[in-house]
Amino acid sequence: MRSFNYDIPTKVYFGEGKIKYLPELIHTFGTKVLLTYGGGSIKRNGIYDEVQELLKDCEIIELSGIDPNPRIETVREGARLCKEHDIDVILAVGGGSTIDCSKVIAAAAKYDGDAWDLVMDGRLITDALPLVDILTLSATGTEMNTNGVITNFDVKLKKGTASYHTYPYASILDPTYTYTVPANQTSAGTADIMSHTLENYFQEEDNAFITDGLSETILRACIKYLPMALENPESYEARSNLMWASTMALNGLTSMGKGGGWTTHPIEHYLSAYYDITHAEGLAILTPRWMKYILSDKTVDRFVKYAQNVWNIEDSGDKFKMAEEAIEKTYQFFVDNGLPMTLPEVGIDSDEFFMEMAKGTEERLSRAYVPLNADDVVEILNRCMTE
Ligand code: NZQ
Ligand code: ZN
């Protein structure tokens, strides 16, 4: 097991009704609030009104319309509002896009140069406004991590930045706020949770038994609770377990004692930067193909562990058969839960940019569990064109 530092400063308020803590959390910093949100789901499901009621003594400036795959232009606008109104604290209400965008706004509000500098180099973030968030979609883990993923369509780049300063101060996680998440976003969000877990799970054999066990539990929770949430969107049991899975999958705990670079995320970020697709739909398409591509004598034992501990596949003595069955089950799980499983299904029907995108991933994928070069990535993308 590798050495690690554990330091996650975000306060978590988990459970129905935890929004009652919002006033005291906000008042810790003042009364001038930048309220950020997306395309309006929080108005339709009542969270917006609840926030306004609880913060009636605050001066609230709004930044709405944050897009899925949030854009650098929105970050710049948010930073401008913070500076102009001398904002004390940012309150982000929404999914990963709103919260990610708000993290970078928080940092850009304390930076004199252009916000894109901070995306390109997180080390330039030396301060940030405090951020409180109310999560409405279980997926990214942004509620308890430092990452802010921002897209600049001018240069076709979607990139994550991170700094200790961009941890949310506090996250309110009320599973009932996810009751209105539509089926496609519920499935995509769960695929994202699974992908974060798998990216950390598929690393060198490292004897990180506890961390791997946590990952296996998160994966089993996704497999158990996604169908339940789709069947009954107001199942508190399903929504609460998916919400905590989201947080646990990417707050650092599934990588403690482990290490190594990721694979499907760097590739997917290029797909989103070129085609503006839903993050986790890209991941669902890529994941089983990546798994198949890297299955070898070197990796097969890890796949066997995955097969037995996540998919309950019995030990037949044939390691490769068990591994292939686990990959097939992963693919079928995504199909059964309505995820698109080919690139044409998400609007990518040409291989025109495959090599260009693949070259962009090379540096990061040279550090992956199984290092891949641009030709490997093109081959994986080609395999994503058909079922
Ligand atoms: O914009 P609104 O109207 O709020 O609607 C959103 C949006 O259309 C809707 N939604 C969210 N909560 C809802 C709801 N609809 C009804 N009821 C609710 N309660 O869902 C749609 C998608 O929202 P979005 O925030 O884009 O989804 P997600 O949470 O999946 O975030 C995706 C973004 O996060 C990045 C992705 O790349 C992508 O840009 N990621 C962030 C990570 C991180 N910070 O650590 C890691 C991830 O790997 C990922 O890269
Ligand atoms: Zn992700």
Measured CA to CA, the distance from residue 197 to residue 8 in angstroms comes to 18
Which of 10, 41, 163 has the most ligand 1 atoms within 8 A of CB, as the residue to mutate?
41
Backbone angles phi, psi at 383, to 5 degrees: -70, -20
Reduced to 3 states, what is the DSSP secondary structure of residue 181? coil
pLDDT 10s digit of each residue in the chain, 387 long? 999 999 999 999 999 999 999 999 999 999 999 999 999 999 999 999 999 999 999 999 999 999 999 999 999 999 999 999 999 999 999 999 999 999 999 999 999 999 999 999 999 999 999 999 999 999 999 999 999 999 999 999 999 999 999 999 999 999 999 999 999 999 999 999 999 999 999 998 779 999 999 999 999 999 999 999 999 999 999 999 999 999 999 999 999 999 889 999 999 999 999 999 999 999 999 999 999 999 999 999 999 999 999 999 999 999 999 999 999 999 999 999 999 999 999 999 999 999 999 999 999 999 999 999 999 999 999 999 998
Backbone angles phi, psi at 23, to 5 degrees: -55, -45
Residue matched to tokens 């969107």: 233
Residues with CB under 6 A from ligand 1: 38-42, 45, 68-69, 94-98, 100, 136-137, 139-142, 145, 147, 149, 177-178, 180-181, 185, 189, 192, 250, 265, 279
Compute, in angstroms, the gap from residue 137 CA to the centroid of ligand 1. Answer: 6
Which run of H or E residues covers position 354?
helix 354-365
Q: Residues near 5 by Cβ (< 8 Å), separated by ≥ 6?
A: none
For residue 69, the ligand 1 atom closest to its alpha carbon is 39
* Distance, CA of 379 to CA of 119 (rounded, Å): 29
Contact 140, 265 (CB under 8 A): no
Angstrom distance (rounded) from CA 2 to CA 271: 32
DSSP code, position 9: -
> What is the helix (H) or strand (E) element at residue 236, kind and residue range?
helix 236-249
Helix, strand and coil percent figures for the chain, each rounded to 5: 55, 10, 35
Give the C-alpha separation, 154 to 66, whole Å.
17
pTM above 0.80, yes or no: yes
